[in-house]
Amino acid sequence: MSPLPVSTLGTPRIGTRRELKLALESFWSGKCDETALLETAAALRAANWARQKALGVTVIPSNDFSLYDQVLDTSVMIGAIPEVYGWKGGNVSLETYFAMARGSQGETHDHACAHGHHDHGHGAPAQEMTKWFDTNYHYMVPEFAKGQTFNLSSLKPVDEYREAKALGYQTRPVLLGPVTYLKLAKSKDATLDPLSLLGELIPVYIDVLRRLAANGAEWVQLDEPRLVLDLDDATRDALRQTYATFAHALPKLKIMLATYFGGLGDNLDTALSFPVAGLHIDLVRAPGQLDNVLAWAPQGLVLSLGVIDGRNIWRANLPALLDRLEPIVAKRGTDHVQIAPSCSLLHVPIDLDQETDLDPNLKTWLAFSVQKMEELSALGKALVNGREAVIQQIADSAVAAGNRQTSPKVHDAAVAARLATITPDMARRGSSFDVRRKVQQQALNLPSFPTTTIGSFPQTDEVRKARAAHAKGTLSDADYAAFLRKETEAAVRWQEEIGIDVLVHGEFERNDMVQYFGEQLAGYAFTKHAWVQSYGSRYVRPPIIFGDVSRPKPMTVDWSSYAQSLTKRPMKGMLTGPVTMLQWSFVRDDLPRDQVCRQIALALRDEVTDLEAAGIGIIQIDEPAIREGLPLRRGDWKTYLDGAVECFRLSASGVRDETQIHTHMCYSEFNDIIDSVGAMDADVISIETSRSRMELLDAFITYRYPNEIGPGVYDIHSPRVPAVGEMASLLNKAKEHLSPDQIWVNPDCGLKTRKWAEVRPALVNMVEAAKQIRT
């Protein structure tokens, strides 16, 4: 038998020691020049190719590397550069590239919340940024205008193919498919449908593909993840037209059409009708599609089977995978099967061997990018030469799977028993909102248009230094606690002084809104080096939920109680909600996600009731991630949203009527989930509305949102200090749509990333605006 091709579809580009981040930040700050940045990038690519080759990958990708984002690279390749960037044609410079990514001179490059924000300073703004399908990676949204044309403006795919070839690697270049690219774009002109530009775009792609073929590329991978979404007829036709045109123009070039993040479902017939040489399918997210694909795929089609999870960090069960794969390879032959991860390995950390402090048991259950390549290589050898060729790896895999299945570190009988006792009543408050509202008004005695903030205050250099010193052991526990008490007291006194009605303690003790809680919950683990790219040079280290989640002891009660003891005004308790705790982590794959979410909800429920018992009368449970957890297919939304709402309510509903529950969400789109937002039944919701000049409220108005609402009046993603009049006019606009007794006054989001010099005058103005509106 000939060897079985093993591919990766794409690899992390950040470097094992975050070399890309360091090089970018050095270049942006003027410490190094363009040559030095490009040398670092070339070294990272060379190391990536060498690593894959050494680990047994035989189908090595090129053009999967990016200095910032692969969608932005595509925009630059085809010359889709909005005129605000002043590009005059020809090759796109790095200056223009980074202006699109981060904004140009005068911008503060502050993608603070990573929800598609950018500042509008004196230069050109950054392009909008949003989530890549349902991952935690963000891409730069292409933007088209009337009269849009496309021209080949960057030869990056060809240059990187040639670069690999010169180093001795025959690669399979990766391009984002033209239809998925157009469907990710937005148009400045409402009458322009990006898909109508396909005829303009295809010739540029053909030009690139021709150049790749002329330089020796035999295969090209075209990513069309759009195929796992609900498609209308126009999109299906666009896909057919695209791949028919490619086949006609380049009959000898083989295309691997890559689909991932879900199953093809009702688009399978469409995908199988394209004249392409290969089709990649995601068998981790959609294992059930395998039988249909095998039944209908033409014998000559090369099937790339995505069997190793490209989005999560769990070790594969090799014997179980071989049981599935052996019959397929026996039937189709090694010429017509490839094995791969479910999607590009961009979404997982690089190398587990860097984690020297992880629990040794847990470590045997994990696989990062390097380990996943080893797994793929082992599968490839076993499928050609028999299992005995990799007998040790198979045995180790089976042992690890068995240990994980039975480990007391994973399974907690008390958590399982408690989960079984959940009743529908536990997710319902004792009384309706109308009843609760009257009781809360008496208990809290707040003025109309009450003022508050979202939770965090600026994390100054001093705060960060103290945290780092405490972590290193050079600042004692007692001295660190004294420092935090001093910061908290100063924040409380200042809020009282300027007249804020509902105070926050400032969260100076917290590193991150998920990590802070995860570190105090059983079932969570944290890494030192397991960075993944969120966007550009921003990398995150998601926590790992490996076992049953419970709360050994109260997490926030001490700090909230201390802060409340300093003031007669209400002090908000601040928590991160169960859905967000789940969404921003690597989640265990041996239990349904909704069950893991319920476990977190019960742990938070205990915290909420303990805060209430400690005299905290207002408790905010933030859920910024509910919307981004939406499934890719509309048909799955209801199940997900019902579960998410139930988990929020489970965490919030153990309190008395007089305790006021707040939640905070930062999105730019509520219309399609407003029923679920209402069903959460929080007493108060604060939302981000200042950038959209309160347009976001439309959803709440048509829906007649019954509870209270704090539409943000201060855009915290910009260093601007809004004037009193500006905030008052936003509140007046809100008053046109909501009854005055519904409205709270607050910023858009937490203030952690801002500086006190901006925050102080902005909040003074906010309090003044509220006073003006009251009179």
**Catalytic amino acids?**
717
- Smallest CA-to-CA distance from 153 within 188, 201, 214, 108 is with 201
Task: Give dist(CA 316, CA 396) in Å, integer.
Answer: 11
- Smallest CA-to-CA distance from 290 within 257, 327, 319, 315 is with 327
Task: Give dist(CA 6, CA 380) in Å, integer.
Answer: 6
Q: Do residues 449 and 739 touch, judged by C-beta distance below 8 A? A: no
Residues in the chain: 775
What's the angle, vertex CA 700, arms to CA 698 and CA 706, rounded to 5? 150
* HEC sequence for 515-580: HHHHCCCEEEECCCCCCEEEECCEEECCCEEEEEEECCCCCCHHHHHHHHHCCCCCEEEEEECHHH
Helix, strand or coil, per DSSP, at residue 173: strand
Tokens at 161, concatenated:
């193919």
Task: Give dist(CA 196, CA 393) in Å, integer.
Answer: 51
* HEC sequence for 586-617: EECCCCCHHHHHHHHHHHHHHHHHHHHHCCCC
Residue recorded with tokens 């099937």: 303
Strand partners, 139: 130
Gyration radius of the chain's alpha carbons: 27
Outline where DSSP puts E strands in 287-361: 302-308, 337-341
